[in-house]
Homo-oligomer: A and B are copies of this chain.
Amino acid sequence: MLMQRLVSKIQKTNAPIVVGLDPMMKFIPEHITQKAFAEYGETLEGAGEAIWQYNKGIIDAVYDLIPAVKPQIAMYEQFGVEGLKAYKKTLDYCKEKDLVIIGDIKRGDIGSTSAAYAVGHLGKVQVGSKTYAPFDEDFATVNPYLGTDGVKPFVDVCKEEDKGIIVLVKTSNPSSGEFQDRLMDGKPLYEWVGEKINEWGADTIDESGYSAVGAVVGATYPEVGKIMRKVMPKSYILVPGYGAQGGKGADLLHFFNEDGLGAIVNSSRGIIAAYQSPAYEKFGAQGYADASRQAVIDMREDIANALASR
């Protein structure tokens, strides 16, 4: 089952790490964009090709070190259909490398519409007498603003297809508290969402002991992590905001259970654009993928040290 597969991969790699495949043009080394533009021109197709080649280099360099990747679909969707082709190619390649794929799509709508997102991203869509799995991620991130009937269609598909969702609880951005922290009957909104996550995931718990309905809680809010770890004992917590957004290894402790499980930490630009930061600039643009590999190794050590220190 999916959660057991994720847990096994985390244990095997000793790396509760997700690499965020969030390509921005400014991250992509010139030798890659030049080659793509030479072939396709400075077009959306050229941008898609550059993104894909860039991703492929990173995936080849890090796939044996990590359990999972999290492509942020917005970074592809901004290039339209051509960008989404690169998204799909990236998903397919990650699947070939046996990585767990978290589609960071943050979708969520009324029931019938969420059902369409769910079949498109996690399930199968019917076309006449045939079925297809158009994107086929393992997990999708989901926005809870619309409440249970906007989330349930995703959960239904998860049960049918052995897939998972990760629901936004407390996001890593500076103004996340504007609505998420507001008290409702003495409890912040994020805690109400967390309690619903327990309900939504209740009958999706597999042999790992974790449910297929996880939660996003930002590394930038460790105190919230501490609370939410207790509120949602059966949910894996996806922790964005490590690295570039300011979260540090020591901040992550509260997100994990005693056994070192229960959380998986995302880093995007800290890994995929490592070569642009002072710590890894010695790799140079040509060595961007090696820089990413070293950044994963260092992140793994940072988290392991933090977990060992408690």
Contacts and interface: CB of A to CB of B under 8 A. Distances in A.
A193 B179 contact: yes
Given A173-B146, A178-B147, A132 B25 contact: no
Given A79-B134, A111-B173, A182-B192, 10 more contacts: A74-B114, A80-B134, A80-B135, A81-B88, A110-B171, A145-B171, A145-B179, A146-B173, A147-B176, A150-B173
Interface stretch (A3-11, A38-46, A60-68, A285-293): A38-46
A78 B148 contact: no
A46 B125 CA distance: 13
Given A25-B126, A120-B79, A146 B132 contact: no
A37 interface: yes
A130 B42 contact: yes
7 contacts: A37-B128, A42-B129, A81-B81, A147-B175, A148-B175, A149-B175, A182-B185
A202 interface: no
A10 to B, nearest CB: 24
A26 to B, nearest CB: 9
A193 B175 CA distance: 13
B180 A189 contact: no
Interface string A164-183: 00001001111111111011
Interface stretch (A101-109, A247-255, A301-309): A101-109
A37 to B, nearest CB: 6
A149 B174 contact: yes
A128 B33 contact: yes
Contacts of A231: none
Contact of A106 (B83, B108, B120, B182): B108
Contacts of A80: 88, 120, 132, 134-135
A110 B172 contact: yes
Interface in A69-85: 72, 74-75, 77-81, 83-85
Given A74-B109, A126-B25, A127-B25, A83 B44 contact: no
Please tell me how many copies of the chain the complex holds. Answer: 2
A116 B179 contact: no
Nearest to A146: B171
B42 A127 contact: yes
Interface centre among A84, A88, A110, A196 (most CB of B within 10 A): A110
A143 interface: yes
A189 to B, nearest CB: 6
A85 B80 CA distance: 9
Contacts of A116: 24, 72, 74-75, 77-78
B117 A78 contact: yes
A201 interface: no
A161 to B, nearest CB: 14
